[in-house]
Amino acid sequence: MEELRNTTSQAKLKEQIFSDATPRTTVSFYRYHAIENPHEFRDELFVNLNELNVLGRVYIAREGINAQISVPTENFERFKNYLYSYAFLDGIRLNVAVEDDGKSFWVLNVKVRKKIVADGIEDESFTMERKGEYVCAKEFNELTENPETIVVDMRNYYEYEVGHFETALEVPSDTFREQLPMAVEMLQDKKDKPVIMYCTGGIRCEKASAYLMHNGFTKVFHLEGGIIEYARQVKEKNLENKFRGKNFVFDSRLGEQISDDVISNCHQCGEKCDTHRNCENRACHLLFIQCENCHHKFQGCCGENCQRIFNLPAKEQKELRRGQHEEKETFNNSQKLFRARFFDVRNK
């Protein structure tokens, strides 16, 4: 059976959403739960979400569900009731975006994957049944007052760069699968210390907490709902905000401002800046931080070479993209390569 999917072009869908004034609410949610037939559940979900005009991405795996979506605000209650109609999703926490213009997504993608978050774990004895203890924003703040507590950021380095909790330990990596063994190694001599893990919405730090428990750590906690829920509770309950800067998000917004602090720098000139962009050279599309001045100077490109390519006729750009496997230094989309090409302003 052919998989149900949206057949309208991405360009057309993007044009439609940006011209549509319908108020939309951006939410994310996840749950680790055994799903016996992911493909069947995927098609059922696609049909019902599509009917409610939901946009975004949903990943289904045998281990559970992970979603970042936007819903027409007028359909939000219907969407919530539909979601809660599944026993394992009944009452699931929905992380509502902190800053939202309703344009975060323009297409609905529901995909079946091996894992809802790629972890690289091949140990068959690992299980999500034994994991760290949830903490809310108030409990997180209280735990961090203890000088013995270790706060660990389980996000990629480009997320940590623009915003993180005070005293948080960075596990510098491009991927979550790399971070898990790195975190164990970095904390090897602190297995009896209280460790709090956090991420954007909770899905990565929940698995990371289980992985640490699996590796002999005894006092592991993780921030329920991640930074998104923390920010909501801080505002709602008038708590001290211990997060500094911006929370990177994986949709077209690329960030939500959690505090007024700007803790990162433009990757090209070194000025204070926390605006992520993708390089306008389609063969590069590198994610990097760029201030307004450099955005104008380089036409949204990550450097002079990409700017030169960006200004070539479309036909020539297409020909160059065909040769990108040979021109790795020009077209490589790696964040690590970008750091090698430009000075590391974080260490200035």
Domain boundaries, the chain: 10-112, 133-237, 276-347
Higher-pLDDT residue of 101, 190 = 190
Q: List, for residues 229-248, the tens digit of each pLDDT value.
A: 999 999 999 999 999 999 98
Q: How does residue 317 score in pLDDT terms, banded at 50, 70 and 90?
A: confident
pLDDT for 181: 94
Q: List, for residues 195-226, the tens digit of each pLDDT value.
A: 999 999 889 999 999 999 999 999 999 999 99
Tokens (6 digits) for 308: 């030169």
pLDDT for 331: 35
Tokens (6 digits) for 106: 């323009």
pLDDT for 347: 40
Check if 205 is active-site: no
pLDDT for 256: 86
Q: How far apart are CA 342 and CA 265, in angstroms?
A: 12
Q: Is the dihedral of CA 171, 172, 177, 181 positive or negative?
A: negative
* The CATH number of the domain covering residues in 10-112: 3.30.70.100
> Over the chain, what is the mean pLDDT?
86
Q: Which residue has the tokens 């979900």?
A: 45
165 has which bridge partners? Answer: 243
CATH-assigned architecture of domain 133-237? 3-Layer(aba) Sandwich (3.40)
Among residues 136, 199, 205, 301, which one is catalytic? 199
pLDDT for 316: 87
pLDDT for 346: 40
The answer for residues whose C-beta is within 8 angstroms of residue 148's C-beta and 6 or more apart is 193, 194
Q: List, for residues 1-53, the tens digit of each pLDDT value.
A: 345 555 555 556 555 655 566 888 999 999 999 999 999 999 999 999 999 99
pLDDT at 98 over 50: yes
